[in-house]
Structure 1
Amino acid sequence: MSAPKRIKRAISGWVVLNKPYDMTSTQAVGKVRWLFSAAKAGHAGTLDPLATGILPIALGEATKAVPQVQDGTKIYSFAIQWGSATTTDDAEGSVVATSDVRPHEAALLAVLPSFTGTILQRPPIFSALKIDGERAYDLARAGEAVELAPREIDVDDIVLVSHGSEHSVLEVTCSKGTYVRSLARDIAEALGTRGHVSMLHRAAVGPFNDADALTIEQLEALDIGERDALLKSVSAGFTDLPEIRLDAQQANAVRHGNAVLLTGAGSPVSLDECWVSFKGEVLATGWVEFGQFKCRRVFN
């Protein structure tokens, strides 16, 4: 006899997963969705299979908050393996160039400031970016020449954690769209050598960090009720955004997608992005214009 079909639940909230090595982001979402029997799930920012760390997984209504979390600041810890460049700019690819040069710590520290601020970065050819509708990594695997134009990214800070003759460990705080593999490649080239990422761990995404993280093994060891108790609220994805608390009449209007006039002392006149609530419940994301809140996404 076949096993009974699992009933999908309309459950909402965030699972801050410490994604394991050699698992794709899609596989991680599928596993967590199965463990929670969730009807709907998604993630806020892809992690390479060889990377570990923070993968925020949204269940149910939290999927509507994915853009806000995905746009948040990222923190990565990574190691640069000195002396070799690879096709993928990480340990998965084939070596395409080598160098005997091993940078001194002082030289590495001196070059890091040139990789902070708003900089131009050429993404790795093995990336999910699209060229004429095709993923760059699909074209690269098919042996086609891939040319990706440099893009502006924002790097807030790079800190050297440890330095050795064969590899160095760094921590970078950066914006959405930053490729750490490209950063490692470019730092090595600026030092007159070659290099690739040999370790990559994402320590934070927007409001979520390592302190919040759960492993697959931890979730598997719990029953479904215990798992539910560990879910973070939908609003946990909005901690970096202003919250506006509405009264019952305003809340009813917003639930129907209508704009509302904000009243009371201190009410904002203009905001690019914010969220509104009623008695702790997330109602919508949106913006404020001329003292009116206007809905972008309404939550059930």
Structure 2
Amino acid sequence: MARRRKGRDISGWVIVDKPSGPTSTAVVNKVRWAFDAKKAGHAGTLDPAATGLLAIALGEATKTVPYVTDALKAYRFTIRLGQATNTDDAEGEVIAESDARPSDDAIRAALPPFIGDIMQVPPKYSAVKIDGERAYALARDEEDFEIAARPLYVDSLEMISRPDADHAVLEMVCGKGGYVRSIARDLGEALGCRAHVTELRRVWSGPFETEGALSWEELEEKARTPELDAHLRPLQDGLVDLPMLPCTPEGASRMRNGNPGMVMAAADVEYGDTAWASYQGKPVAIGIYRSGELHPARVFNLPDEA
């Protein structure tokens, strides 16, 4: 018999403004403990040195994680020109240097090839698996290996400011699976000067923004107190990029049992679209719309359902 996980049956999203230092997993564990939640997960890893938005799902909201993970995300980051490191960020050792310093115009001119559907090679110090081993573990052991390029969609990439000749601040909006460190590395190569990331901050992710996010200090101060629940956002906040279809009482009952249920049609939903069903203001299921019914792929088990 499986051991029952302790904690509250609490569901929703917690948006944390992650500080530099802790891993994403450590933040998730801290939030789960602070809320005394049974289950938690996050929608997109941040490197330990990175700061900014980390969207954490509790309880039934973990079923909506893929829809936030797949959404566009925005990063603001600073690159150090003239130096390459073995980790592609400031945590690593400098492995190459250059005296070249591109002009602002040269940097802007080098950005268009990094926009759109591109192929990107992840950093060797990353969690990518190579024959079952993490790339960072192989890199630490000084193993000789290559990482295959992966597709990435970059919606926009622009230079925001140029603090000095050695640094440039950029902002990128991209899809899932992108490595800002790789953008910095490859941009440095394209400019002929080498580069790495010195600061990285995620400013928004899908429907969530850093404005109003829970700080690390607030999390520690309010942990295990009723005041912390005020920072819990509704499960459906993670579904705003999907169309919502109200359903009938019978439809809600059928979908909660995993069967197709009747929903009210919407002008922006077509046959085969992914949508979510709502009954009396609460999410019931996510699924595929077909001929007046939603065929559930994920069903929500929320308390106090009418």
Structure 1 pair 267–174 and aligned structure 2 pair: CA distance change class (3 A): closer
1:219 is aligned to 2:219: yes
Matches within 5 A, 1:257-296: 257-262=258-263, 266=267, 268-296=269-297
Structure 1 pair 264–286 and aligned structure 2 pair: CA distance change class (3 A): closer
Partners in 1 of 2:66 and 2:286 — Cα distance?
A: 11
Q: Is the 8 A contact 2:246 2:264 kept in 1?
A: no
Structure 1 pair 68–98 and aligned structure 2 pair: CA distance change class (3 A): same
Partners in 1 of 2:180 and 2:15 — Cα distance?
A: 21
Q: Is the 8 A contact 2:243 2:269 kept in 1?
A: no
Q: Secondary structure at the match of 1:211?
A: coil
Sequence identity percentage: 51
- Cα offset, 1:137, TM superposition: 1.1
Matches within 5 A, 1:28-67: 28-67=27-66
Q: Is the 8 A contact 1:78 1:197 kept in 2?
A: yes
Question: CA-to-partner distance for each residue in 1:122-169, whole Å, 9 max, x for gaps?
Answer: 111111111112111111112111211111111111121111201100
Q: Is the 8 A contact 2:245 2:265 kept in 1?
A: no
- Cα offset, 1:266, TM superposition: 4.5
The count of corresponding residues between Structure 1 and Structure 2 is 295
Partners in 1 of 2:140 and 2:38 — Cα distance?
A: 34
Matches within 5 A, 1:119-198: 119-163=118-162, 164-198=164-198
Partners in 2 of 1:262 and 1:31 — Cα distance?
A: 39
User: Structure 1: which 5+ runs fail to align?
Assistant: 1-5
Instruction: Name the Cα RMSD after superposition.
Output: 1.6
- Cα offset, 1:7, TM superposition: 6.0
Matches within 5 A, 1:91-110: 91-110=90-109
Partners in 2 of 1:34 and 1:205 — Cα distance?
A: 24
Bigger shift: residues 82-91 or 205-214: 205-214
- Cα offset, 1:263, TM superposition: 5.1
Partners in 2 of 1:269 and 1:46 — Cα distance?
A: 33
Q: Secondary structure at the match of 1:284?
A: strand
Q: Is the 8 A contact 1:69 1:237 kept in 2?
A: yes
Matches within 5 A, 1:243-254: 243-254=244-255
Partners in 2 of 1:132 and 1:291 — Cα distance?
A: 46
Q: What is aligned with 1:299?
A: 300
Partners in 2 of 1:201 and 1:254 — Cα distance?
A: 40
Letter in 2 for 1:282: P
Q: What is aligned with 2:304?
A: none
Normalised by the size of structure 2, how large is the TM-score?
Answer: 0.92
- Cα offset, 1:291, TM superposition: 3.9
User: Structure 2: which 5+ runs fail to align?
Assistant: 302-306
Partners in 2 of 1:90 and 1:157 — Cα distance?
A: 21
